[in-house]
Amino acid sequence: MTVLTVPSPWKIRDRTLTWGSRTYLMGVLNVTPDSFSDGGQFDTVERAVAQARHLVHHGTDILDIGGQSTRPGAGSISRTEEIDRVIPVIEAIRADHDDTLAQAIISVDTTRSSVARAAVKAGADVINDISAGTYDRAMLSTVADLGVPIVLMHVRGTPATMQQCTDYQDLVGEIYEFLQHQIEDAIAVGIKPSKIAIDPGLGFAKTPAQNLELLRQLSRFRDLGRPLLVGPSRKSFIGWILDQPDPQQRVWGTAAACCAAIAGGADILRVHDGAEMHDVCRVADAVWRGKGE
């Protein structure tokens, strides 16, 4: 019988994220005009900070700030535009009079090493790279230099092309091999093994049926020995099941997908609806982690 090693905790600011103890929530904060679910809702500093405050006061453990939409079909923006969207929000959060908000753990959702460097300088704590360091070859060495944790996610193609890249011979096996390879590359350039998390990339170059298969087999990724992040929130496969074209009406479906992810061993859930999913996590953790007794 294989005995899985529990990944080392992450110590960030005044908190310790102890993997396996409970499910942690990463709250989505898209400071973009065109994200698939909340594009344009938080694209000013004031609105972004207000949403960040709401999230951290309703159970969110990590704020994930993104300035470049990665929805299917999304085009690319310039490095300068991405920095101009993200950095003022980080700076405003860090300067806020609300201590809970000002000391929140901040992740930045970017594939650019220059944005990662600017974000950490401004006060970010974690880098969340949907390309696992493959879009910008300097990303992994930059993160090693910065000394911060990184989330490595599986994707094929780019957001503009990924939904034409869903032909897998062995879905879980190929994703597993990709993540294993990127973990090795990250360690080779100096990222500490304890600072690497993985994400199988629900919705990124996967069909609805493939997303369901990933959720069913999520526990296989535990063998990689890294904290496991899953991001099912409001995604199109949930809309496909529910016949619900409006992403903001997929909260109940997201809750079910989050339960499945927790049952499969997810450590972090990336979600839009922080308060609602916090309740989901508390109940699911009581069932699968024995935290309600």
- Point out the residues that are catalytic: 235, 270
Helices (H) and strands (E) counted in the chain, each on its own, are 10, 10
Nearest to 115 by CA among 159, 79, 151: 79
Pairing of strands 15-17, 10-12: antiparallel
Residues 6+ apart with CB under 8 A from 248: 37, 38, 234
User: What is d(CA 26, CA 110) in angstroms, rounded to the nearest whole number?
Assistant: 15
CB 29 within 8 A of CB 65: yes
* Alpha-carbon distance values, 31 to 61, 87, 217, 227 (Å): 19, 10, 32, 26
Q: Show the tokens assigned to 244.
A: 């619900």
- DSSP codes, 134-149: -SSTTHHHHHHHHT--
User: What is d(CA 68, CA 197) in angstroms, rounded to the nearest whole number?
Assistant: 21
Interior angle at CA 136, CA 144 and CA 83, nearest 5 = 85
Q: Where are the alpha helices (DSSP H) in 37-170?
A: 45-56, 79-94, 99-102, 113-122, 139-146
Q: Show the tokens assigned to 239.
A: 């809309």
